A and B are shown apart, each in its own frame.
Chain A
Amino acid sequence: MSVRKRLITVLTFNNGILFRTKEFHPDYRYTLNFVDAWSVDEIVLLDITRRGEGERRNFYEVVETFASRCFVPLAVGGYVTTVDDFKKLLSIGADKVIVNTEAMRRPEFITEAARLYGAQCVVVSVDAVKRADREYEVVIDRGTEPTGVSPHEWAAIAEKRGAGEIMIQSVELDGSLNGYDNELNRSMADAISVPLLVNTGAGNWSHFAAGFNEGGAAAVCTSNIYHFTESSVRSAKRYLARAGIAVRTE
């Protein structure tokens, strides 16, 4: 056996309150009733507060709460634009920091952060939309700004710049529960040698298996599929183990 395939829970916070999202917009509010879960392999916390609304402090409090109660790796992102943001998030308990828009605008930011905190600390998240001609395009600033750049080409550049992991999200599939876009995922996995985290679209356990087998994922992410209840994470893991995927089942 070697490194296990990971199951990651992504939680999105609007001004410190847990929200489900659909196509990148806060959809409805969730109750945060868990935290002390044992079976999930990693947790991602994202600040999705719209610019000018809410207070960043509320998100920091969320990160601190998770850091003190969860004994799994914690990756944190949303509005990360400086190495000071890295410093702040790491100081309140993040293990990894997720960058997106600023990395595209200023790729040297990836290198700067990796030099200071190590490549393992830098996750570059890529948001993609599928255009009418079936070509994919990276969009930034919460899906609002087109870039004309192809996701897999950008992923390869981000890795060269120092990214330790790459995360891919499809804007259209966010909240759809229709499954991952594994054509997109595979194009990303083939372009990089660092782990690929696939997000957006999972609606049932078989979608996770497809994310690994067809999408080439090192980790599958989900936010909408379950309420993070302990039994559902465990049941997902059991399903994957039966499907022949090496996961942590304890």
Chain B
Amino acid sequence: MIGIIDYGLGNLRSVAGAVERLGFEWVITDNVKTLDGADKLILPGVGAYGDGMRKLNERGLVEPLSDLVLNDKKPILGICLGFQLFAKEGTEFGYHKGLGWIDTTVRSFRDGGVTAPVPHIGWNDLDICKTGTLFKDVPDDALFYYVHSYYVDGAPLTGVTATCHYDLTFTAAIELGNIYGVQFHPEKSQRHGLTVLRNFLEKSEA
């Protein structure tokens, strides 16, 4: 059973549709017991950073999730904003504390000097820089769908497995033990997106 974390943000149904297509059972929930019983977790998300943390706090999910991920080592995949929330802080519309599972900061494209249109919307490349679990069977020229105005600063991280370029090079994916994160939307990136998702569902380990 795959636990899709419901915190009132994000395209939960699309993520569930992709998981179902791959032949896995899923549940969309904010119930900690149910999430504890799930084999793996997915934290989706579309929206603003502060909003995301506020909603996780409102539903009392911050501590229980940290316990499941950091102590029980349950595999978790963060998608887009969900991935960004793993960081210790975000700067979207002011300073916001993140979940703090990965020791880095979420920064704005504009502050980084990006002059191209923001948000970065559309199909873009992925430079796989480190062998990992998520990109097995994904060809080098595969494209993925991105929608975001902020990015995870990869400089302090050891587990960056792929980057993408949009005026600046940013983190497209990380794998740090049981913690997996992708900036693009695998559930919206056609067959290669589904491959990434399948790799997480089948191969990720605690």
Interchain nearest-CB distance for B42 vs A (Å): 15
Query: Which residues of chain B come closer than 8 Å to A17, judged between CB atoms?
Result: none
Q: Is B124 interfacial (CB-CB < 8 Å)? A: yes
Contact A72 B190 (CB under 8 A): yes
B 184-200 contacts with A by CB, 8 A: 185, 187-194
A68 to B125, CA, bound (A): 25
CB 8 Å contact bits of B100-124 with A (1 = contact, 0 = none) = 0000000000000000110111111
A66 to B165, CA, bound (A): 30
A146 to B115, CA, bound (A): 36
Query: Which residues of chain B come closer than 8 Å to A105, judged between CB atoms?
Result: none
Contact B11 A95 (CB under 8 A): yes
A1 to B116, CA, bound (A): 13
Contact A67 B14 (CB under 8 A): yes
Q: Is A120 interfacial (CB-CB < 8 Å)? A: yes
Q: How many residues of B contact A (CB 8 A)?
A: 38
- Selecting from B71-79, B142-150, B169-177, the interface stretch reads B142-150
B 80-101 contacts with A by CB, 8 A: none
A90 to B45, CA, bound (A): 12
Contact B194 A71 (CB under 8 A): yes
**Interface SS of chain A: helix, strand, loop or mixed?**
loop
- Selecting from A2-10, A26-34, A46-54, A124-132, the interface stretch reads A2-10
Q: Is A191 interfacial (CB-CB < 8 Å)? A: no
CB 8 Å contact bits of A71-93 with B (1 = contact, 0 = none) = 11110000000000000001111
- Selecting from B15-23, B59-67, B153-161, the interface stretch reads B15-23
A68 to B47, CA, bound (A): 21
A13 to B95, CA, bound (A): 44
Contact A41 B46 (CB under 8 A): no
A93 to B20, CA, bound (A): 14
Q: Is A193 interfacial (CB-CB < 8 Å)? A: yes
Q: Is B136 interfacial (CB-CB < 8 Å)? A: no
Interchain nearest-CB distance for B2 vs A (Å): 16
Interchain nearest-CB distance for B186 vs A (Å): 9
Contact B122 A6 (CB under 8 A): yes
B13's partner among A3, A68, A117 (CB-CB below 8 A) is: A68
A-B CB contact pairs (8 Å), 25 listed:
A3-B166, A4-B124, A6-B123, A38-B190, A38-B191, A67-B13, A68-B13, A71-B14, A71-B190, A71-B191, A71-B193, A72-B145, A72-B190, A73-B147, A93-B13, A95-B14, A118-B119, A119-B149, A120-B46, A120-B119, A120-B148, A164-B119, A165-B121, A193-B117, A248-B123
Residues of A within 8 A of B (CB): 1-4, 6, 38, 41, 64, 67-69, 71-74, 90-93, 95, 117-121, 164-165, 193-195, 218, 248, 250
Residues of B within 8 A of A (CB): 11, 13-14, 17-18, 20-21, 46-48, 116-117, 119-125, 141-143, 145-149, 165-166, 185, 187-194
Q: A164-B121, A193-B117 are in contact. List 12 more A-B contacts (CB 8 A).
A: A3-B120, A68-B13, A71-B191, A90-B11, A91-B13, A93-B17, A95-B11, A95-B14, A118-B47, A118-B149, A120-B148, A248-B143
